[in-house]
Structure 1
Amino acid sequence: MDHRPRHRALDQDDIATTMLPRIRAEDPGDATAIIPKVAPDPGQTAYIPKFSEPSADPTAVLRKLPPRPPSDRPDEPAPPTPEDQPDAAEAPKGAIVVPLRPVRTEEGYRSVYSEYTRTTFGSVARTISRGTGEVLITFGLIVLLFAGYEIWGKAAIVNEHQDELNHQLEQQWAQPPPTVGPSATPAAVKPANGAVIASVHIPRMNKKWAVVQGVTPADIRYAPGHYPDTAMPGQLGNFSMAGHRTPAIWWDLDQLKPDDPVIVKTADTWYVYLVTSHEIVLPNAVQVVAPVPGKPGEKPTKAMLTMTTCNPKFNNYQRLVVHAELKRSQPVSDGDPAELKG
């Protein structure tokens, strides 16, 4: 026995007679009125009620609110009535009632926020404090940039000039020495100020510098300078030099210890000096560069070397002085000295 449900396909006539409303006979001309026309009820579409003009009284809105329906909980307190609401003059602490529209005065409209943005002692103090802070921060950045330039910017410039001076020195040494007549005096053969005369190597600092003649600010701008009235390298007396206390020149001169080598190279000779002492003096203590350091007028018996620089770092109200004594010398043709390699 067949228990399957019996169904049949609906044709267009069935759909027209069962699923769509019939067209009324009294309106045969309206053949498209499948869905009856229903006039909308204005009350059903008024979801948002029309607001009346705002009142100047901020609490008027509270008074117009409809009463809340009674609660299902008997122990819940009754809602406050408009009469129970606090007056605008007695607003809760911390609550500020701000009108939503400008206030009209005799002079025109006044912003509702004018009383909160007007200039007061507190606002002026905050403005001054904020401005002072910005100025101090800007000044601090300028100081940091200047310090960076003094440390790294000038070092790069000095290193570039040192490369050029060393190149000039190598070219000068490669040329044959000038012929000096028998009548020439020692003063006549002195190098001119600014001329490169030697190179100084300090193994402890792992650096070398070209040395120029003269100690004026222009002479020692990019290199240590030789005091013109002192002895030349290897001679009896005091071969004295001055250099700036910058990272590119004699920044770490205070790290030298006794017996540290200071090596000077000329066109044909290496001179190896060993550090004997160091001292800190005033800028006018010129006796440190005398032929016998600290003893002006005394006749020298040794070949000495003296290096002077500013002290402390970033200042110049003192002088750091390092003294060394000649230990030995060797020709350049014999190669680099052992102290330089070690």
Structure 2
Amino acid sequence: MSVRLIVRTFSELCITVGALIILFVVYVLFWTGVKAAGATEGQIDDLQNQWAHGAVTAPVPLPSASPPPSDPKPSAPAPKAYRDGKPFAMLYVPRFGKDWEWPVLENTKVKTLQKGLGHYRGTAAAGATGNFAVAGHRRTYGDPFKDFPKLRPGDAVIVTDGTTWFTYRIDKKPYRTVPSDVGVIDPVPRKSGFDGPGRYLTLTTCEPEWGSSHRLIAWAHLDATQPVTDGKPAAFHS
């Protein structure tokens, strides 16, 4: 084989590999965003249609096993859950921009997070006692939490279920941890600084920006509530 043929073959291989890399980058940076925009708009439309017709997705009790007859301890109240894979709320973070709004769906499966933010199944309902925990992509599929590191104490995180506005306030700068640290979504999250039961919110996303070896966590406490009939809360402008 001549040197010229070797060089030409290698050059063609490099061009092919380069083209594949470019296509992959376009898919990651552009196409997943296009898909997410369409999916997210669909979820928002579903919510708005439900709310326009007076239908609010309220959490329902999850089935729980009854204690055996020999167990003298009373069973704890069954946790509640929203409809699996369905949108039930909208979430707003003014720090991320005046147009930043994302639907919240029940569960954190891959397909769910391609449509919006995902509520950790089994954690508290919006505004309820416990920890309302929500996950979102840092990058790809619309980049919902791209600016996550910008969160600061006092920032508002606003949630509505169609009847009530729940305004949470961030308590500290984002905390970095590993994916196996599941205590961050406990009813009283570990290392959050909260010293007892309350109405909390946890936001989670990937770290670093284009990786997933770690997680960034932001904790907040419920600061205020008001009916949607009273208009948007002042926190949108604070």
TM-score by length of 1: 0.58
Aligned counterparts, 1:1-342, within 5 A? 124-177=2-55, 186-187=61-62, 190-206=81-97, 207-247=100-140, 248=142, 249-277=144-172, 278-294=174-190, 300-342=196-238
CA distance in 1, matches of 2:49, 2:226: 21
Identity %: 32
Structure 2 unaligned regions, length at least 5: 64-79
Contact 1:251 1:313 in 2 (8 A): yes
**Cα distance change on mapping 1:333 and 1:270 into 2, 3 Å:** same
Aligned mates of 2:122, 2:60 — CA distance in 1: 15
Distance 1:257 1:127 in 2: 59
1:24 maps to what in 2? none
Q: Could you report, residue by residue, the CA deviation over 1:192-221 in whole angstroms, capped at 9, with x for unpaired residues?
A: 211111000011212110000011222222
Structure 1 stretch 139-148 or stretch 227-236: which is displaced more? Answer: 139-148
Query: Within 2, Cα distance between the matches of 1:301 and 1:134?
Result: 63
Contact 1:158/1:222, CA 8 A, preserved across alignment: yes
**Cα–Cα, structure 1 residues 158 and 135, in superposed 2: closer, same or farther, change >3 Å?**
same
- Give the AA of the match of 2:134: M
Structure 1 residue runs of 5 or longer lacking an equivalent are 1-118
Deviation readout 1:132-161 (Å, 9 max, x if unpaired): 133123212221221122111111111111
Larger mean Cα displacement after TM superposition, 187-196 or 249-258: 187-196
Deviation at 1:299, TM superposition (A): 8.8
Aligned length: 215
TM-score, normalization by structure 2: 0.82
Q: CA deviation at 1:190?
A: 2.9
Higher relative contact order (CA 8 A, sep 6+): 2
Say which structure is richer in strand: 2
